[in-house]
Amino acid sequence: MASVGTFSHEEITIENKAFSSFKTIIESAFYGNNVEVISDLASAYDLARKAPGAVVTDMPVSHATDLGLPEDAKVIVFNDGKVTGRTASARRVIGQPGIDKTLYEGVLRDALAQGTHKKFYAGEVVVGLDKDFMVKAHLILPENYETNFYSYLLNFQIMNQEWRALYQDSKNYPETDIYLYADPDWTHPAFPHGLALFDSEHNVAAILGLKYFGELKKATLTLAWSIAHRNGYVACHGGMKEYQFSDKKFTMAAFGLSGSGKSTITLAEHNDKYQIKVLHDDAFVINQLDGSTTALEPSYFDKTQDYSLTDPAINFFMTCQNVGVTLDNDGKKVIVTQDIRNGNGRTVKSRYVTPNRVDHLCSSLDAIFWIMKDDTLPPVVKIDDSVLAAVFGLTLATKRSTAENIVDNKDRDNLVIEPFANPFRVYPLGEDFEDFKTLFNKNQTACYILNTGFYQGKKVTPQDTLSSIEKIVEKQAKFVSFGPISGMNYLPLEGFEVNFDDAKYMKALRERMESRLTFILNQNSEREGYNALPEEAITTMRRVITELS
C-alpha cells in the first residue's frame, strides 16, 4: 500500500489528517542520530546473537538461506522477567472517551527525550502479504533488545528488494505508514505496568516499559487492522484455511483468543484427508467487496507449551521467548518447552512449518466458527439467524490465557466476553458488529460455535472438535434444534448429550444468555456510549432469553 507521499511546505498544516502531535512526536524520533537502520535479516541476526542475555542454541534454523539468514543460523532464546504476556491494562487510545490528549502528549515527549540518550535500531517491514492490502511499518527499539528487534523482522515481512517492488505495485489507500516507537526500559510512577499508547487515526504507537515481544507484534497488528477497517475490510483476529475437493472448496475462519484452540484448528492437516491451504492462524483481513482474504504476517507467533523436542514443528522455530535451555545427551544447547520455566513460552516459527501456506485466498468465506469456552454450550452449535450469529460473535465467551498479563488480580478462570476475540480494536465495537452481520447476511456465510472448553463437566478434546469440523466440511453433520431457541441448532455427539428437561442446566443456560445481554446493554452506557450497539442486538438477545423462560 503506497503511502500518501511527501507533502509540500504549504500542505503541512494542523488540519491535514496525515499529521497529528503524536505522529509528529513519534516519527521524528526515527531520524535521530542515535538511530541505526538495519535493512537485512543477516545483520539483525548478528546483532541478536550478540545481545546481552541471548542464548544461541545448537538448534539450526530450517530454510535459513531462503529466509535471508546465514546458512548456519541457530535458534536464539531470550527470556523476560516476571511478565511473560500482554498487559491489556497498559493500553491507551487517543480519541477515545476519558483519554486526556494533553496529558499523554507530555508523557510521550518526555519518554522520547529520555530515549535520545541511548542507541536505537530501526527496521522496516510490510504488513499484509498481497497487492490488495499492504502497509509499510517502521519500528525503533533500543540496544540490548536486539533479540526482540530480530524477532519483529522475522514475524513480519522485512522490506527487501523483492517486497519493495510488490509494495510499490500494491493498491493505494489514503493512509500514511505505521510508526512504532518502543522503549522497554522506560518507567513512570503513574504507569507502573507500562504504557501502550496509540494514535490509531494517524497510524502511530509508543510501547513504553513493556518487554514482552507480543506487545510489538499486537501493536503493529492493531494499527494495520485499523487501517484495513477504514478502507473496506473486516479486521480479523483468527485463523483461516481452505479445504479443496475435486469439485468444490470450503473456506473457513476460526475466531478465538490465544489458548482457545485457534491455531490447532487452523493448522490441523486432518491426517491428509484433504488438500488444505492455510492463510494464517492469527491475523488476516477480509475484503468486503469480493470476500477475498489476505494474511498480514508470514510467520507464526506460537505457544511452545504443547511441543516436545521430538515434534517436527520444532525444526521451524527461529527464535524463542520465555523458555528454558538445557544440554542434551550430546552436550548441545536445546530449548525446554511445555511451559516448565513459566507460562506462555513462545516461538516465532517460519512459514515453512506449513507447506500448504498461502498469503491470499480469492474464495469467499463459507463459514465462521466462534471459539468459546462456555460450559453451557455443547461442542458444536449452528446459528441460522444472521443477527444472532453476529450477536454471538459480539458476546464471544471465553477464558483468559497465560498470553495475558493480568495485573488486577481477577481470577483467570472466570468466563469473560471478548467481542469477536479481538481485544485490539481501536474503533467503535458497533462497526465490527455491522461488518460481521454483513458477512452472515449478504455474503451468506454460515456460522458455528465451537466450545473447546468443558461441557457439563466433560472436556471437549481437540479430536472432538476436529472430527466435528470434518463432518461439517463434508456436509455429513446432522444438526438438531437447540431446545426452544429459534435459529439455533447443535450437533449431537456421544458423551455430550443435551438434556433440556434438566432444570439446573436450563437455569445455567439462561443465566449465561442474560450475562450476554448485560454486556450488550453496558456498552450503551459505558465510556459515553463509544461502543453503543444497535437495538437489534438487544432485541435478539432478549428474544433468546424469553424463549428459554
What pLDDT score was predicted for residue 398?
85
Which pLDDT band holds residue 4 (cuts at 50, 70, 90)? very low
- If we measure between CA atoms, which residue out of 177, 176, 186 comes closest to residue 156? 177
Band (495; pLDDT cuts 50, 70, 90): very high
Beta carbons within 10 angstroms of residue 482's beta carbon: 19
Question: Which residue matches cell numbers 485457534?
Answer: 262
Amino acid at 415: L
Q: What digits encode the pLDDT tens for the residues 121-148?
A: 999 999 999 999 999 999 999 999 999 9
Q: Are 281 and 38 in contact (CB under 8 A)?
A: no
**16-53+111-232 homologous superfamily:** Phosphoenolpyruvate Carboxykinase, domain 1 (3.40.449.10)
User: What pLDDT does 14 receive?
Assistant: 47
Coil, strand or helix at 434:
helix
- Which band of pLDDT confidence, cut at 50, 70 and 90, is reported for residue 272? confident
Judged against a pLDDT cut of 70, whether residue 16 lies above it is answered with: no
Q: Could you tell me which residues come within 8 angstroms of residue 467 by beta carbon, excluding any fewer than 6 positions away?
A: none
Instruction: Report the pLDDT averaged over residues 162-191.
Output: 97
Residues for the chain: how many in total?
549
Per cent of the chain over pLDDT 90 is 88
Question: Is 70 exceeded by the pLDDT of residue 10?
Answer: no
Closest CA to 121 of 97, 137, 106, 138: 138
The residues, any chain, with a CB within 8 Å of residue 323's CB and separated by 6 or more, are 77, 79, 304, 335, 336, 337, 341, 345, 346, 347
pLDDT of residue 161 exceeding 90: yes
**What does 362-391 look like in DSSP terms, one character per residue?**
-SPP-EEEEEE--TTS-SEEEE--HHHHHH
Q: What is the CATH number of domain 235-287+366-498?
A: 3.90.228.20
pTM of the full predicted structure?
0.94
Confidence of residue 363 (pLDDT cuts 50, 70, 90): confident
pLDDT at 260: 86
Task: Enumerate residues 6+ apart whose C-beta is below 8 A from 53.
Answer: 78, 79
Give the residue-averaged pLDDT of 105-132. Answer: 98
Interval 235-244 mean pLDDT: 96
User: What CA–CA distance (Å, rounded) separates 303 from 344?
Assistant: 6
Mean pLDDT lowest for which of 113-117, 411-415, 420-424? 411-415
Contact between residue 303 and residue 404 where contact means Cβ atoms under 8 Å apart: no
Contacts of 116 (CB under 8 A, 6+ apart): 29, 32, 34
Asked if 387 and 538 touch (Cβ cutoff 8 Å), the reply is no
Query: What's the rounded Cα separation, in Å, for the pair 526 and 225?
Result: 24
**Domain boundaries along the sequence of the chain:** 16-53+111-232, 235-287+366-498
Range scoring the smallest mean pLDDT among 47-51, 72-76, 112-116, 244-248: 244-248
The pairing of beta strand 446-451 with beta strand 133-142:
unpaired
Question: For 334-358, what is the mean pLDDT?
Answer: 96
Q: Does residue 13 register a pLDDT over 60?
A: no
Mutual orientation of helices 429-441 and 386-394 as an angle, nearest 10°? 140
506/261: higher pLDDT: 506
pLDDT per position as a tens digit, 440-452: 998 889 999 999 9
- Predicted confidence at residue 7, as pLDDT, reads 37
Is pLDDT of 380 > 90? yes
Categorize the per-residue pLDDT at 17 as very low, low, confident or very high, splitting at 50, 70 and 90. Answer: low
Segment 252-266 mean pLDDT: 90
Cα–Cα distance measured from residue 221 to residue 225, given in angstroms and rounded to the nearest whole number: 6
Question: What's the confidence (pLDDT) of residue 408?
Answer: 56
For residue 114, the model assigns a pLDDT of: 97
> Binning pLDDT at 50, 70 and 90, where does residue 538 land?
very high
Mean pLDDT of the chain: 93
DSSP letters spanning 15-68: T-TT--HHHHHHHHHTTSTTEEE--SHHHHHHHHHTSTT-EEEEEEPTTHHHHT
Q: Does the pLDDT value for residue 318 go beyond 70?
A: yes
Three cell numbers, residue 422 = 479481538
User: pLDDT at residue 11 above 50?
Assistant: no
Q: Is the pLDDT of residue 152 over 70?
A: yes
% of the chain surpassing 70 pLDDT: 94
pLDDT tier for residue 258 given thresholds of 50, 70 and 90:
confident
Grid cell digits, residue 204: 502511530
What DSSP string describes 464-487? HHHHHHHHHHTT----EE-TT-TT
**Mean pLDDT on 449-466:** 95
How far apart, in whole angstroms, are the C-alpha atoms of residue 440 and residue 190?
44
Helix axes 535-548, 503-525, angle to 10 degrees: 160
Structure-derived torsion over alpha carbons of residues 469, 473, 474, 475, reported in degrees to the nearest 10: 100
Task: Please tell me the predicted confidence (pLDDT) of residue 403.
Answer: 59
Check pLDDT > 70 for residue 347. yes
Residue 8: per-residue pLDDT: 36
Confidence of residue 3 (pLDDT cuts 50, 70, 90): very low
Provide the pLDDT confidence category of residue 501 given band limits of 50, 70 and 90.
very high
**What's the CA gap between 279 and 365, in Å, rounded?**
12
